[in-house]
Amino acid sequence: MIQDQIGIPACFTGEKPTDDTTAVTKSGQSVFMSVYRTKLADQSRLITITWCKNLVLHSLSISVEGTEGGSHYCKVELKPWYFWRKQGCKSFTVDGRCVDVFWDFRAAKFNGETEPTSEYYVAVVCDEEVVLLLGDLKKNAYRKTRCRPSLIDPILVSKREHVFGKKKFFSKVKFDEKGKLHEISIDFKTSCLGCEVDLEMEIRIDGNLVVHVKHLQWKFRGNESIQVNKLRVEVCWDVHDWLFSAGLRHALFIFKPTFSSSSASIPSSLPESSSASTPLSCQTRSSGSVEGFNTAGSSEFCLFLYAWKVE
């Protein structure tokens, strides 16, 4: 279950990050996390990229999975001061191997987003290979690092975003790395049925209504299969804590594209007995696979959207 205490993300502190996806943020701070699987130091590992934004600064943290369950951590603060050097490099050790992180934010454009949208790069280097490269200034990154690209392309496993709102929540996502950027909106509504108040939820993608849940107070957990540009997407939601818990609480929404060869990677339906009583966050952590889903041998990913309802 979600705890009363709200933690501060590791990118705003000097602490190492934890695996608790519900330990997030104070009201108004944005967090965006991307998880990649790639080969680093002769092992297949997860690299988590976390962008944070508050009223003062942006912050970036990079966590690399260790072989014995721990993680190795690097943090970069994008300070707004004029004299701060917006290009640099940091090093840390992963299982005895040196890992270098290079970045260039001198011309980075954020356009109000938590992570940059253009004119930047972040490169993770190990054994003279660029094992992960983010941003559009790829030539600049290879020139700066003087390293070759990895022979194995990283796989985007999942994205996790924390958003805030009163009744409406927004996000953007690509269900396919080479596909279109889609806009997701979630609208929480109240209507009157005679003397009774009914709760509704609408989920739209690119302005098109794809999920409409009436009597939300009875259907606070569930899932539906939708079509987005001929791609099947499984949508799961858990809004229990929105409705029945006090204080600042979040709902969890999961968007997972599925293909015919991997349609079994997420259940097509949740059993009524478990979906109504078991939080979705617990169900997604119940298996040993990454983020609760089987991602082995697949380029698919999940979007985990944590919507914090602010009164």
- At residue 276, the pLDDT reads 53
Residue 300 banded pLDDT, cuts 50, 70, 90: low
Band (13; pLDDT cuts 50, 70, 90): very low
pLDDT at 269 over 60: no
Asked whether the predicted pLDDT for residue 11 surpasses 50, the reply is no
* Average pLDDT value for the chain: 79
Of these ranges, 2-16, 111-125, 134-148, 195-209, the one predicted with the greatest mean pLDDT is 134-148
> What separation in angstroms does the CA of 104 have from each of 90, 164, 284, 311?
12, 29, 35, 38
What's the whole-model pTM score?
0.77
Cross-strand pairs, 118: 109
Contacts of 134 (CB under 8 A, 6+ apart): 49, 121, 122, 123
CA dist 274 and 207 (Å) reads 32
pLDDT in tens, 85-109: 789 999 999 988 999 999 999 999 9
The pLDDT assigned to 30 comes to 81
Predicted confidence band of residue 174 (pLDDT cuts 50, 70, 90): confident
Question: Which residue bears the tokens 């943090």?
Answer: 75
